Structure 1
Amino acid sequence: MIDNKNPLPLYHQLANIIRKKIEQGLYKEGDKIPSERTFKEQFKLSRVTVNKAINLLIEDGFLIRKRGQGTFIANSNINFFPGLLGFTEIIKNKNMVPSSRVILKKIISPNKLLCEKLKVSKTDKIMFTERVRLADNKIINLEKSYIPLKLCENLLNIDLSTHSIYKELSKEGYKPSMATQEIKAILSDEEISKYLKISLNEAILKNTRITFSKDIPIQYSINYYIGDVYSIIMSIDN
């Protein structure tokens, strides 16, 4: 309960109460929490105090606010270190089961952008894949991937719902050794919302990446991550 004699600020006390209910499983992932008005009346607090408690829990990753719907218990985040492991390897390292739903897999001719990013000519062929990636059957991201077919024609024959693209490229001598990427926050459009099963215009992360094997570009990919199940951990050295 809230203790007015406790030196801890009232909004911190309320945040701790809500956090404890989450940790005890009284509020479960995806549940909508009571309204701010309900907390205000239950604990005899001001609306400002309740709002500060909710915002604190959002900042700490326990809650997520959805426009026009309310505030919900956030899903447990999957933390990614932006190194050179593929999705499959990252998820396995977290003792979870990776899987994919293949939406599209086809051969295309490169446009000007792909020629630039992958250092290929207009006569080269590109394998384009579109997949929904999952961990323990929980949707994590939508991946669009472009790979020069000449690097690994075997990709045409394997089941990409269970196989790792990076692993297949490594078998052909193109082990990932470097990558450049850009990560930014965007709002989901109709296509992304459909495949990620989220609301339209929901905040997500877009990761655009070029992966190299030595100095050879081996993959250009665009990944769209659900904002409340994905976070990035980085290590910075002097």
Structure 2
Amino acid sequence: MTQTLPLHRLQTSSGGPLYVKLKRLIEEAVANGQLRHGDALPPERDIADAADISRVTVRKALDHLVEDGLLVRRRGSGTFVAKPVPRMQQPLTRLTSFSEDMRRRGMIAGSHWLERGLHFPTPEETMALGLSSSARVARLIRIRTANDMPIALERTSLPDDLLPDPETVENSLYHLLGQRSIRPVRANQRISAVLLKDDETELLGVSAGSPALSVQRIAYLDTGRVMEVSRALYRHDAYDLVAELTLES
């Protein structure tokens, strides 16, 4: 540990409060390759003993690094150097699919399926999709990835007559529907900031209590019928939503 992190020099070095100096020390170790993606940091107690500082100081430094996305805490395992996450900007002026967004960026979109099948709809799905009492709902729940990195947790519901066999969806839902000339022409989106639940943070590979962007979408066909309702939770450290505004003369 002393070769990777010269903690014994922390007390005598200059540069502000101890937690700031420890934070900078870890940042430099990551920047120069002494600590790499996936490397585990020593336990907080060991860092505190080696640096002759309190565990409160160690926790404060690590908390800041977790917030910055440099470190990630895994429940029951410890604290690790996080994999660098490329930030992506998503314009709000175009109606596109996740796969199309990634393709434009030269990235490979993927899915880790959690659920894919026909179900009896919830009252919310029945109302939002305008379903009859006998209809079922095609429900898709998956982790969306870009170059194998988890980016979003996505839940989508469609009427069963538009998607009678959800198992046929391999990656791009819009591409599959487009082969049957089913394509949304407009959508309403509601964007908000949320805190992820414990199971959601594990699925997205982020620290407990991490924030996310919640994007709720209702997409419509050219007939005015609702095609889908969806909610996607995007990692806060990977996605920026951008809107272009103009001033009316």
TM-score surpassing 0.5?
yes
2: CA distance between counterparts of 1:161 and 1:78? 25
C-alpha displacement of 1:10: 3.3
> What is the aligned partner in structure 2 of residue 175 from structure 1?
185
2: CA distance between counterparts of 1:47 and 1:102? 40
2: CA distance between counterparts of 1:149 and 1:184? 30
Is 1:110 the counterpart of 2:118? The answer is: no
1: CA distance between counterparts of 2:72 and 2:168? 35
> What is the aligned partner in structure 1 of residue 80 from structure 2?
72
> What is the aligned partner in structure 1 of residue 68 from structure 2?
60
C-alpha displacement of 1:99: 1.5
> What is the aligned partner in structure 2 of residue 40 from structure 1?
48
SS in structure 1 opposite 2:80? Answer: strand
Which of 217, 222, 229 lines up with 1:220 in the alignment?
A: 229
What is the identity, as a one-letter code, of the residue corresponding to 1:60?
D
> What is the aligned partner in structure 1 of residue 103 from structure 2?
92
Deviations 1:132-169 (A, max 9, x none): 4332233444433211244x45x74884223x223445
Is 1:130 the counterpart of 2:130? The answer is: no
C-alpha displacement of 1:72: 1.9
2: CA distance between counterparts of 1:53 and 1:157? 46
Query: TM-score, with normalisation over the residues of structure 1?
Result: 0.71
Which of 215, 231, 240 lines up with 1:233 in the alignment?
A: 240
C-alpha displacement of 1:33: 0.6
2: CA distance between counterparts of 1:6 and 1:113? 58
Which of 12, 19, 37 lines up with 1:11 in the alignment?
A: 19
> What is the aligned partner in structure 2 of residue 20 from structure 1?
28
Which of 168, 187, 197 lines up with 2:197 in the alignment?
A: 187
What is the identity, as a one-letter code, of the residue corresponding to 1:12?
V
SS in structure 2 opposite 1:177? Answer: strand
C-alpha displacement of 1:71: 1.9
Query: TM-score, with normalisation over the residues of structure 2?
Result: 0.69
C-alpha displacement of 1:197: 8.7
CA distance 1:157–1:8, change in 2 (3 Å): closer
CA distance 1:198–1:49, change in 2 (3 Å): closer
2: CA distance between counterparts of 1:233 and 1:197? 17
CA contact (8 A) 2:159 2:228 kept: yes
